[in-house]
Amino acid sequence: MGTYKDLILYKKSFALAMEVFAITKQFPKEETFSLTDQIRRSSRSVNICTVEAYRKRRYPNHFISKLTDADMENSETQGWLEFSLACNYISEEEFTRMNDQSNEVGKLIHYMINNPEKFGSM
């Protein structure tokens, strides 16, 4: 068994969080403590909850609980992306690309929730 860094979910959620970070650098300064910080926090939390879930994989209920936290944070990221689009801070193309990535992350989370035994959970 590898490490959490080998998980497709880890890699894809990290890539999305880094894209969110890069794109939010252009957001207006007045959004720093609201939208910018919130979307960065939620997108990063998906990845960190994945790491925490992996570390708790020996205990299926804890593993699943952390993955549901990741799912919640991923949904929050999608909400912030919608606000970013509505405020014209990102283009329709950027929104679609990141939202599609977030949907893929969500599918991976649900797969792991439904198949904990495939990830070393007892």
Q: How confident is the chain (122 residues) per 10-residue block, as mean pLDDT?
A: 89 98 96 94 98 94 97 98 97 98 98 93 62
Confidence (pLDDT) at 19: 98
d(CA 99, CA 56): 28
Confidence (pLDDT) at 55: 94
Confidence (pLDDT) at 105: 98
For 56, phi then psi, to 5°, come to -105, 15
d(CA 24, CA 13): 16
Per DSSP, the three-state class of 97 is helix
Confidence (pLDDT) at 120: 82
Query: Domain-by-domain residue ranges, the chain?
Result: 4-119
Q: What is the pTM of this model?
A: 0.94
Helix axes 92-114, 60-86, angle to 10 degrees: 170
Confidence (pLDDT) at 18: 98
The CATH class of the 4-119 domain is mainly alpha
